[in-house]
């Protein structure tokens, strides 16, 4: 039996923005850890199957080439990573697989299925879906198909025959692993490629890694806080890093939602790294609240060179409404500490919140962002995601609706998702976004700072590319107007 696992292209990504926006693909391309974990668990537990992983999103593989890759492998079972914003591409991949082999069993997994299970299974070419973490469930599916056993009894797997049970299943948290330390390290040989890299680091060979799953926080705009937080043992993470170092990887991106759930967890990891004298570079996504200078220094001492912080807005009241659990003074202090520790910072910021009722309020919040003086920033408009408190507030106010999303899933037709347009139009917000981004990156003080750091040739080329993209996008937006 041939098992194919695919991370679909993102050529039909549902984008809230217009023009160029600073995104992950501008920083680099990262291994798809989700399907690597699934593939590795399957490989470890069933030796009689042939497994292939296709990462078609990093960067996007043209559909003609993807068709040929799938045809050459000719899968009996296909598992596809599924996200709401890339669901149109998922459907295109499903069509390719079923055109090549109509008898192939197509199974979808990912966050999307938790809320859109029924709409997804309305597509007859999709045979099953998995809700929650997929390692054990996909293994059980393949095992049942190998032995001609009934698949509708697999916990967390749904077909059109048992879809009536999905609502009761999604209300409990039993579809997540209690102990993620039982999982084998993801086998990165499934996606051997030179295009995985981080443009901001000194080294080219990098990989993604996680030290936890889930997030205990409840930011109003984020769907991830609904998944229970489960950390890995620091020694287990260090074992994986050692294994990666032996394969030639020298840079690591911790891809989990929040690396620093508490300082003890971070310091335990740093002590384990120091004890083993492991030498590598790393970056992560972190939360402002609770972090301190000694923790940041320990991170820097073990090779941390960049932290991505979700700042989001520039007032205490706004932070409170977003459930960020922090204050503007705490944010200022942490960015100051990062400079002291020698760690670069990326500040994620949003404009067009429900509490920003005018252009002047947005510009005031941007001034706060600039005053933090991060090394990089990513300014986007507020993107209300279905089944979050923010989206539900928009539905209550009559600003947003679930219907376009459900229609897109059933019909496969692309649409333009709405921003929060209670006070400002989408066009106004996009103009402010571009203006704010240019204002941040083209300050004389910022340019001088970058010129002083020209010793890193690779970073200089990257920053030059970012500047070029921003200028071109700004010109195009001006021409359109």
164 and 232 share a domain? no
Domain ends where: 110, 135, 170? Answer: 170
Distance in angstroms (rounded) separating the CA atoms of residues 197 and 28 = 5
The whole-model pTM stands at 0.92
Residue 176 lies in a domain: no
Per-position DSSP letters for 327-361, written without gaps between them: -HHHHHHHHHHHHHHT-EEEEEEEE--TT--SHHH
150 and 12 share a domain? yes
What's the pLDDT score for residue 473?
54
115 and 257 share a domain? no
What's the pLDDT score for residue 79?
98
The residue among 97, 99, 122 whose CA lies nearest residue 4 is: 97
Are the C-beta atoms of 162 and 152 separated by less than 8 Å? yes
What's the pLDDT score for residue 460?
63
93 and 213 share a domain? no
Give the chain's largest Cα–Cα span: 68
334 and 428 share a domain? yes
CA distances from 317 to 181, 321, 391 (A): 39, 6, 19
Residue 62 burial (10 A CB sphere; 0-12, 13-18, 19+): exposed
CATH number for 141: 3.40.50.280
The domain in which residue 47 lies consists of: 2-170
What's the pLDDT score for residue 448?
87
Q: What is the pLDDT along the chain (481 residues), one digit of tens a residue?
A: 999 999 999 999 888 776 555 555 666 788 999 999 999 999 999 999 999 999 999 888 999 999 999 999 999 999 999 999 999 999 999 999 999 999 999 999 998 898 999 999 999 999 999 999 999 999 999 999 999 999 999 999 999 999 888 876 665 556 789 899 999 999 999 998 767 877 666 556 889 999 999 988 989 999 865 688 999 999 999 999 999 999 999 999 999 989 999 999 999 999 999 999 999 999 999 999 999 999 999 999 999 999 999 999 999 999 999 999 999 999 999 999 999 999 999 999 999 999 999 999 999 999 999 999 999 998 999 999 999 999 999 999 999 999 999 999 999 999 999 999 999 999 999 999 999 999 999 999 998 887 877 666 566 666 666 666 656 555 444 444 4
Beta bridge partners of 212: 231
130 and 231 share a domain? no
Per-position DSSP letters for 126-195, written without gaps between them: --EEE-S--HHHHHHHHHHHHTT--STTSTTEE-TTTGGGHHHHHTSSTTS-S-GGGSPPP-GGGG--TT
What's the pLDDT score for residue 60?
86
Instruction: List, in order, residues 6 or more apart from 191 with CB less than 8 Å away.
Output: 31, 32, 36, 53, 55
Residue 45 lies in a domain: yes
For residue 22, give both structure tokens: 């600073």
Are the C-beta atoms of 21 and 429 separated by less than 8 Å? no
What's the pLDDT score for residue 447?
86
The residue among 141, 133, 318, 111 whose CA lies nearest residue 224 is: 111
Distance in angstroms (rounded) separating the CA atoms of residues 443 and 97 = 50
203 and 153 share a domain? no
Residue 392 lies in a domain: no
Beta bridge partners of 158: 129
Residue 18 lies in a domain: yes
For residue 345, give both structure tokens: 């910072």
Locate all alpha helices (DSSP H) within 412-456, ordered by sequence.
426-441, 444-451
For residue 132, give both structure tokens: 């929650």
In the block, which residue shows the tokens 């912080």? 309
Residue 191 lies in a domain: no
For residue 451, give both structure tokens: 């010129």
Are the C-beta atoms of 295 and 338 separated by less than 8 Å? no
Residue 388 lies in a domain: no
102 and 224 share a domain? no
252 and 201 share a domain? yes
Distance in angstroms (rounded) separating the CA atoms of residues 75 and 104 = 6
Are the C-beta atoms of 338 and 368 separated by less than 8 Å? no
Q: 203 phi and psi, to 5 degrees?
A: -105, 155
What's the pLDDT score for residue 26?
62
88 and 46 share a domain? yes
Residue 440 lies in a domain: yes
Distance in angstroms (rounded) separating the CA atoms of residues 419 and 43 = 43
Are the C-beta atoms of 74 and 100 separated by less than 8 Å? yes
Residue 61 lies in a domain: yes
Domain count, the chain: 2
DSSP three-state, residue 2:
strand
Beta bridge partners of 230: 213
216 and 261 share a domain? yes
Domain ends where: 101, 135, 170? Answer: 170
What's the pLDDT score for residue 481?
46
154 and 203 share a domain? no
Distance in angstroms (rounded) separating the CA atoms of residues 117 and 404 = 16
What's the pLDDT score for residue 479?
41
List the 50-55 sheet strands across, edge first: 50-55, 2-7, 77-81, 105-109, 128-130, 157-158
Query: DSSP label at 60?
Result: B
CATH number for 379: 3.20.20.70
């Amino acid at each position: 039996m041939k098992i194919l696992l695919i991370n679909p292209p993102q050529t039909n990504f549902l984008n809230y923005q217009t023009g160029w926006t600073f995104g992950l693909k501008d920083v680099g391309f990262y291994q798809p850890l989700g399907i690597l974990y699934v593939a590795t668990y399957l490989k470890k537990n069933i030796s009689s199957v042939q497994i292939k992983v296709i990462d078609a999103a990093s960067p996007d593989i043209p559909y003609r080439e993807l068709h040929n890759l799938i045809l050459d492998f000719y899968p009996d079972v296909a598992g596809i990573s599924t996200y709401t914003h890339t669901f149109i591409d998922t459907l295109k991949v499903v069509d390719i697989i079923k055109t090549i082999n109509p008898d192939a069993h197509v199974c979808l997994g990912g966050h999307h299925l938790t809320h859109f299970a029924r709409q997804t299974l309305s597509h007859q070419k999709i045979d099953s879906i998995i809700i929650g973490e997929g390692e054990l469930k996909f293994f059980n599916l393949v095992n049942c198909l190998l032995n001609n056993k009934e698949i509708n009894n697999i916990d967390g797997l749904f077909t059109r025959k048992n879809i009536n049970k999905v609502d009761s299943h999604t209300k409990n948290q039993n579809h997540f692993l209690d102990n993620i330390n039982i999982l084998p390290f993801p086998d990165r040989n499934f996606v051997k490629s030179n295009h995985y890299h981080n443009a901001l680091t000194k080294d080219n060979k990098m990989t993604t890694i996680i030290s936890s799953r889930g997030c205990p926080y409840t930011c109003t705009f984020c769907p991830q806080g609904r998944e229970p937080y489960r950390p890995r043992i620091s020694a287990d993470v260090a074992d994986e890093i050692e294994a990666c170092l032996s394969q030639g990887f020298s840079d690591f991106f911790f891809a989990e939602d929040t690396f620093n759930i508490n300082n003890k967890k971070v310091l335990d990891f740093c002590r384990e790294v120091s004890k083993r004298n492991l030498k590598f570079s790393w970056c992560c996504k972190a939360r402002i609240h609770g972090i301190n200078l000694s923790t940041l220094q320990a991170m820097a001492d073990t090779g941390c060179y960049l932290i991505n912080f979700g700042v989001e807005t520039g007032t205490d009241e706004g932070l409170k409404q977003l459930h960020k659990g922090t204050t503007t003074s705490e944010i200022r202090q942490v960015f100051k500490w990062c400079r002291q520790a020698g760690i670069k910072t990326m500040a994620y910021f949003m404009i067009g919140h429900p509490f920003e009722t005018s252009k002047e309020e947005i510009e005031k919040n941007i001034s706060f962002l600039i005053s933090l003086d991060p090394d990089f920033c990513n300014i986007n408009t507020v993107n209300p995601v279905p089944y979050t408190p923010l989206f539900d507030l928009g539905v209550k106010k009559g600003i947003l609706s679930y219907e376009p999303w459900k229609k897109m899933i059933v019909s496969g037709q692309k649409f333009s998702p709405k921003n929060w347009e209670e006070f400002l139009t989408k066009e106004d917000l996009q103009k402010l976004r571009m203006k704010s981004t240019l204002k941040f990156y083209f300050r004389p003080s910022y340019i001088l700072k970058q010129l002083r750091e020209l010793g890193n040739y690779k970073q200089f080329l990257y920053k030059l590319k970012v500047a070029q993209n921003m200028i071109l996008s700004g010109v195009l937006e001006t021409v359109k107007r």
